[in-house]
Structure 1
Amino acid sequence: MALLDDDEIDLRELFAVLWAGRLKILAVTVTAALLSVVVALSLPNIYRAEALVVSSESDSSGGLSALAGQFGGLASLAGVSLGSGDSDRTQLGIEVLQSRQFFADFIARRDVLVPLMATAKWNSATGELVIDEDIYNTEQQRWVREVEPPRTRQPSVQEAYAEFVELFSVSQDKKSGMVTVAVEHQSPQVAQQWVSWLIDDLNTTLREQDIAEAERSITYLQQQVRETNVADLQTLFFGLIQKQTERVMLAKVRDQYLFKTIDPAVVPELKSKPKRALICLLGTLLGGMLALFWVLFDHYALNRQRQEGR
């Protein structure tokens, strides 16, 4: 009973302390709530555009896969690539999308550096980007930002890439094989346009690489045909030349070379973040919890220090 009485006395004391510090708790909580509202309202709207794509290799790789199964070992010895499976090609596309080299080519091809690094806000009335003039002078079309070395006024590819990976994402559903390519930006138009460009540029890049590789293989195989008198090897080489020629023809006529778009990116109408209501709620709760700890700490810890110092 004594222990119970002590617990009841401690509980009453706790409520008494909190009640005595109610004004302090209220003031801190209200301040935190107001600050969270200010922070939430100061954050720009971010829009997310995404596209759903799938590997297009399954539509046309049957013949090449059959040949790879029949002559794969000999083709490898001959130094000729017959391609890989759908999953390997899909993973290759994802890795290329995430590479710095592809991003560097993307910057050069699409001129996205200014909207990536110097966007101040998006004007929803006009649909245009507002560029931060302290970073990029639009009239003189030059970078004017002040940075510390080793940074330069014009952002490097490494710096821009670090910024881009915060806005860009690509993921694959392991069950369906579908790949989602997404971009977040203050402008919904920019987000949608960049997703479309990324998919187009990826298809173009891999198509050009495969055409160049296939043409080198054809040249090499033609040379091997001329240098060998073995009929079986000549038959193999002619078969490989035929498949590499088909590979070149297919690459040249198919726009969606690696990834076929199932659901194209559209201009998002609603923002994806920030979650302003959640920010305000969490800010208020955090402020209230800090206020409670402050009051309790002030009462128990500081009072004990004052008593010990007497």
Structure 2
Amino acid sequence: MTTSNNETYITISELLSEIVENKWKLVLVNLLAIIMGVLLILFLPKKYEAEVILAPVSQGGSGSLGNLANQFGGLASLAGISLGGGENDKALHAQTILVSWDFIEKFIEQNNLAAKVFAVKSWDKASNTLSFDEGLYNQATGEWTVEGGESLKPTSWELFEEFEDILRVSQDTQTGLVKISIEHHSPEVAKLWVDLLVESINNHMRSLDIQDSKKNIEYLNEQIEKTSIAEMQKIFYQLIEEQTKTLMLAHATQEYVLKTISPAKIPEEKSFPSYILIALGAAVLGAFLSFIVIVLSILRKVGK
């Protein structure tokens, strides 16, 4: 090491000498990093991700409805009637609803998923059973733990946040295809929930369109009775025809807004923890600890 103007310099050969001198310490700290990585792999709860790929459903009457929207969209808006958009608009609407607090809250409640969302610790592959956190939930009785006179049952918001962490919804901007995925301790649960989500969002969007169409038809019939202008009546009848088509499609189409292109499968490989990320993390930790060992060794010599 060379000292000049209160500054200390170290050459490459001296650095290599420090590495050789502290080789066993370096081996030890890197071994420690590897052991920590192995422990993470062994003890972190494993999770599996199931996904489905969907395509926006092309509505049979969307062409004629679009023409009507161009011709009479302003009139329909004044009357409080929405002529809707294309399948992509509906798909975007469905995605927005899918990740909303209200929809997820109802989804969890209707399917009785609170415990599996909030209290699961792990999944046993051999017996295909879930293990619950007994400090939160008693699986035998189906009751949430009471502590200090208060139930530990999660609130609607807590359940939403937990579910939001395991749900992923995305759309390919080029193809328009929508991907929905769920990550869970159990691969079967992950697959089941993806299927239930697709069914639920399609049913929800169907119900909204049926409700809107019925209200629109009722309103248009009232307007026909109020006007004696033949041209206006003709417009209203055309609007009623399109709303009736929407009703028919809603009742007849099972996958109303999002159609399955690639169905969800039970995943065989875990999505978490990632061996690659843990290995990289262990390597970075080992390098950092090695750097600390060398720096401390150099500082001790400079201090002398």
Could you state the TM-score of these two structures normalised by the residue count of structure 1?
A: 0.89
CA distance in 2, matches of 1:9, 1:255: 73
Q: 1:109 maps to what in 2?
A: 110
Contact 2:171–2:177 (CA under 8 A) maintained in structure 1: yes
CA distance in 1, matches of 2:19, 2:171: 52
**2:213 equivalent to 1:236:** no
Contact 1:181–1:195 (CA under 8 A) maintained in structure 2: yes
Contact 2:107–2:200 (CA under 8 A) maintained in structure 1: yes
Contact 1:18–1:295 (CA under 8 A) maintained in structure 2: no
Contact 2:136–2:153 (CA under 8 A) maintained in structure 1: no
Unaligned 5+ runs, structure 2 = 1-8
Q: 2:167 corresponds to which letter in structure 1?
A: F
Q: 1:164 maps to what in 2?
A: 163
Q: 2:139 corresponds to which letter in structure 1?
A: T
Could you state the TM-score of these two structures normalised by the residue count of structure 2?
A: 0.91
SS of residue matched to 1:89: helix
CA distance in 2, matches of 1:89, 1:133: 42
Q: 2:4 maps to what in 1?
A: none
- Residue pairs, 1:18-97, within 5 angstroms: 18-97=19-98
Alignment length (residue pairs): 298
Q: 2:6 maps to what in 1?
A: none
Cα RMSD, aligned residues only: 2.3
Contact 1:170–1:180 (CA under 8 A) maintained in structure 2: yes
SS of residue matched to 1:176: coil
Contact 1:183–1:192 (CA under 8 A) maintained in structure 2: yes
Cα offset, 1:187, TM superposition: 0.6
CA distance in 2, matches of 1:57, 1:114: 37
Higher mean C-alpha deviation, range 59-68 or range 263-272: 59-68
SS of residue matched to 1:57: coil
Q: 2:5 maps to what in 1?
A: none
SS of residue matched to 1:48: strand
Q: Matched residues, percent identical?
A: 35
Cα offset, 1:86, TM superposition: 2.3
Cα deviation per residue 1:65-110 (whole Å; 9 max; x = unaligned)?
A: 2222232222112211111122221111111111111101101111
CA distance in 2, matches of 1:198, 1:80: 29
CA distance in 2, matches of 1:21, 1:67: 81
Q: 1:292 maps to what in 2?
A: 290
Q: 1:108 corresponds to which letter in structure 2?
A: E
Q: 2:11 maps to what in 1?
A: 10
SS of residue matched to 1:165: helix
Unaligned 5+ runs, structure 1 = 1-7
Distance 1:171 1:292, change over 3 A: same
Q: 1:257 maps to what in 2?
A: 256
Q: 2:126 maps to what in 1?
A: 125
Q: 2:274 maps to what in 1?
A: 275
